[in-house]
């Protein structure tokens, strides 16, 4: 449990904004504050024991902020400075809106994890009538909702630097409203309406009258509640169906029409559409929305399948951020330490493939179920792990999430290439997510290489939502690099479970290679290789 906490004032800062960091739990003892960018010191100042640290303005980028006492790091956080906070989606959630509730815990989560979007799950009165319940009502599943609380939460989330996004199912109608919409029903082979149990019935989202109604409902909710955009949900089926009037419907095309229609209605809103189990990412990833969001289910059960899905989404979505709603059901079935290891491997997989995970929200919750009301209260160890990993994500953003990053593993690694690779004395290195191995991936970040090492040693399988054994020891890991004539490579390593920032690793010549012995591998390491570093920054 951390005794001192650094908490950025906002999830993201504009380049011309004063950057402020709150200090909680500190006394007036002398200390120093360091600001680092990719491990390099960019600013240092004394800390006088006050509640806030004033860092001034900073150029665009991701930064680590450290509070030091007697040269020992007492607390860390990260800062994002960007002119466009929507270029990344670090996504969270809210799922309870009791009367008179305090938004402080939710705002702290936004600031602590640097969330740039928060999904307001099941806030509405009914799926087909969002604002029909007055100021206080029971939602469609009987949960109490105070619209005043929703408004206050949305305003507080917005002030903290994140977009409040209202949940809306794009084609769902409840039993009470169904008689007015059954003419737009999508029918199964037996002529029955497709449905979610007996709770919701499905209409064609592109039907002219439904889409006009849906657009108007969203516009009213944005104006009356204060949402900055919407999370547009579906259920993954049907893919093809007959409408009640006999028209054959390609639902992928209907979704594309729906997204375009909502964008026309709300040109400045942040829109996130759920491509359930990758359906239909191939059609809608390029639609006028602001992210490529995918909820993975079977057969996407392995770390490798998550990596492949994230990779496809990045290719299809252009520069849109990629988010996978990978719910960690494992917390309901396994001890916390085993579940935390599963989450670390899931995050390592997604972060190393340029994607993020929808997982954390409320004041102290994570998602373990697609019905977000059934969430999981985190243990302190989980909360601290999430803080470290989200700090790491923000601090190393340009090495992890930049859309310009390219996978160059096949061009650099292996004996045929021999340009950059790792060897372990007690484990096999694999280019795939294979249980019992060290999973290695290399990306190109401009003139730098980024080597990702994910530790699957000691695991019996590569499932992402299953209890994980303690991380095995791959032995000594050596990184071997072919240098550029006349230059000594600079090699640095970062680990979210260690220092949390890049540290230099000494390297020695070995024939026509340069060799560096890496620190012990826990769950994930990021190795930055600069083949031709600036002389002033060379290690």
Ranges of each domain in the chain: 5-81, 85-169+207-237+255-400, 406-530
The pLDDT of residue 32 is above 50: yes
> pTM for this structure?
0.96
pLDDT of residue 302: 98
1 confidence band (pLDDT: 50, 70, 90): very low
Residue 369 structure tokens? 């179920």
> Which contiguous run of DSSP H or E holds residue 409?
helix 409-412
The pLDDT of residue 28 is above 80: no
pLDDT of residue 475: 98
Q: Which CATH architecture has domain 406-530?
A: Sandwich (2.60)
Tens digits of residue pLDDT in 408-441: 999 999 999 999 999 999 999 999 999 999 999 9
Give burial (CB, 10 Å; 0-12/13-18/19+) of 503: middle
Interacting residues of 34 by C-beta distance below 8 A, sequence separation 6+: 41, 43, 44, 65, 66, 68
Mean pLDDT, rounded, for 142-171: 98
48 confidence band (pLDDT: 50, 70, 90): confident
The pLDDT of residue 180 is above 50: yes
487 confidence band (pLDDT: 50, 70, 90): confident
pLDDT of residue 101: 97
pLDDT of residue 49: 85
The pLDDT of residue 16 is above 90: yes
Tens digits of residue pLDDT in 494-532: 999 999 999 999 999 988 899 999 999 999 999 999 998
Mean pLDDT, rounded, for 390-398: 98
Residue 109 structure tokens? 């989560």
The pLDDT of residue 107 is above 90: yes
pLDDT of residue 539: 45
The pLDDT of residue 198 is above 90: no
**The domains spanning 5-81 and 85-169+207-237+255-400 adopt the same CATH topology:** no
The pLDDT of residue 458 is above 70: yes
Cβ contact 456:480 at 8 Å: no
Q: What is the spatial distance between Cα 480 and Cα 489, in angstroms, rounded to a whole number?
A: 11
pLDDT of residue 537: 53
Instruction: Collect contacts of 383-386 with beta carbons under 8 A, ≥24 apart.
Output: 384/1, 384/2, 385/340, 385/343, 385/344, 385/497, 386/113, 386/359, 386/360
Cβ contact 374:95 at 8 Å: no
E strand intervals along 354-476: 355-357, 360-361, 365-366, 376-377, 406-407, 420-424, 428-430, 437-445, 448-455
Mean pLDDT, rounded, for 171-183: 97
Does residue 194 have a cis peptide bond before it, meaning omega lies within 30 degrees of 0?
Answer: no
Residue 238 structure tokens? 């049907």
Cβ contact 311:349 at 8 Å: no
How many CB atoms lie under 10 A from the CB of residue 226? 17
Give the C-alpha distances (Å, rounded to integers) separating 389 from 219, 297, 395, 397: 36, 24, 10, 12
CATH of domain 85-169+207-237+255-400: 3.20.20.80
Q: Which CATH architecture has domain 5-81?
A: Sandwich (2.60)
Phi, psi of 521 (to 5 degrees): -90, 125
Of these ranges, 13-27, 37-51, 208-222, the one predicted with the greatest mean pLDDT is: 208-222
In the predicted model, what is the mean pLDDT of the chain? Answer: 96
The pLDDT of residue 40 is above 50: yes
Percentage of the chain exceeding pLDDT 70: 99
- Poorest-pLDDT segment among 24-38, 88-102, 183-197: 24-38
The DSSP bridge pattern shows strands 136-138 and 144-146 to be antiparallel
DSSP one-letter string for 473-503: ----EEEEE-PPTT---EEEEE-TTTTSS-E
The pLDDT of residue 136 is above 50: yes
The pLDDT of residue 398 is above 50: yes
Tens digits of residue pLDDT in 228-278: 999 999 999 999 999 999 999 999 999 999 999 999 999 999 999 999 999
Tens digits of residue pLDDT in 299-347: 999 999 999 999 999 999 999 999 999 999 999 999 999 999 999 999 9
pLDDT of residue 403: 96
Phi, psi of 450 (to 5 degrees): -120, 120
Q: What is the spatial distance between Cα 302 and Cα 459, in angstroms, rounded to a whole number?
A: 12
pLDDT of residue 33: 97
Burial 177-186 (b: 16+ CB within 10 A, else e): bbeebeebbb
How many CB atoms lie under 10 A from the CB of residue 410? 11
How many CB atoms lie under 10 A from the CB of residue 310? 25
Mean pLDDT, rounded, for 68-83: 95
Tens digits of residue pLDDT in 459-470: 999 999 999 999
């Amino acid at each position: 449990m951390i005794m001192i906490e650094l908490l950025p004032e906002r999830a993201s800062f504009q380049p011309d904004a004063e950057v402020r960091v709150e200090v909680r739990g500190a006394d007036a003892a002398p200390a120093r504050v360091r600001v680092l960018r990719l491990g390099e010191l960019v600013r240092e100042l004394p800390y006088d024991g006050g509640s806030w640290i004033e860092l001034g303005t900073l150029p665009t980028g991701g930064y680590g902020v450290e509070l030091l006492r007697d040269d020992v790091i007492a607390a860390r956080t990260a800062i994002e400075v960007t002119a466009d906070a929507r270029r990344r989606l670090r996504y969270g959630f809210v799922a309870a809106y009791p009367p008179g509730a305090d938004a402080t815990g939710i705002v702290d989560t936004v600031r602590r994890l640097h969330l740039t979007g928060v999904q307001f799950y099941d806030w509405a009165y009914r799926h087909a009538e969002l604002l029909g319940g007055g100021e206080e009502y029971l939602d469609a599943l009987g949960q109490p909702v105070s619209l005043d609380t929703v408004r206050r939460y949305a305003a507080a989330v917005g002030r903290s630097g994140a977009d409040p996004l209202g949940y809306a199912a794009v084609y769902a109608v409840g039993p009470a409203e169904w008689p007015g919409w059954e003419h737009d029903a999508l029918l199964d082979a037996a002529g029955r309406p497709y449905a979610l149990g007996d709770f919701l019935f499905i209409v064609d989202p592109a039907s002219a009258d439904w889409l006009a109604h849906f657009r108007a409902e969203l516009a009213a909710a944005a104006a009356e509640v204060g949402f900055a955009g919407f999370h547009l949900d579906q259920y993954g089926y049907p893919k093809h169906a007959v409408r009640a009037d006999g028209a054959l419907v390609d639902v992928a095309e209907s979704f594309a029409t729906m997204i375009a229609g909502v964008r026309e209605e709300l040109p400045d809103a942040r829109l996130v559409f759920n491509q359930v189990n990758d359906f239909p990412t191939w059609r809608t990833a390029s639609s006028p929305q602001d992210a490529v969001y995918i909820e993975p289910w079977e057969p996407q059960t392995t770390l490798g399948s998550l990596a492949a899905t994230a990779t496809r989404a990045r290719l299809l979505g252009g520069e849109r951020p990629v988010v996978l709603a990978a719910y960690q059901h494992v917390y309901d079935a396994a001890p916390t330490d085993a579940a935390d290891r599963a989450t670390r491997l899931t995050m390592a997989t997604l972060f190393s493939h340029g994607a993020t995970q929808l997982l954390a929200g409320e004041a102290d919750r994570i998602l373990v179920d697609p019905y977000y009301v059934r969430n999981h209260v985190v243990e302190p160890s989980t909360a601290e792990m999430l803080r470290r990993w989200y700090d790491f994500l923000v601090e190393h953003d340009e090495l992890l999430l930049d859309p310009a990053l390219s996978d160059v593993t096949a061009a650099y690694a292996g004996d045929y290439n021999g340009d950059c690779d790792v060897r372990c004395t007690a484990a096999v290195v694999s280019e795939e997510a294979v249980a019992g191995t060290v999973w290695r991936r290399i990306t190109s970040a401009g003139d730098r290489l980024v080597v990702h090492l994910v530790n699957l040693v000691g695991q019996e399988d590569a499932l992402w939502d299953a209890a994980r054994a303690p991380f095995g020891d791959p032995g000594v890991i050596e990184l071997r690099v072919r240098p550029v004539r006349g230059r000594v490579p600079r090699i640095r390593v970062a680990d979210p479970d260690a220092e949390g920032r890049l540290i230099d690793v000494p390297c020695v010549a070995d024939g026509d290679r340069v060799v560096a012995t890496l620190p012990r591998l826990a769950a994930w390491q990021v190795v930055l290789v600069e083949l031709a570093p600036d002389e002033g920054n060379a290690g």
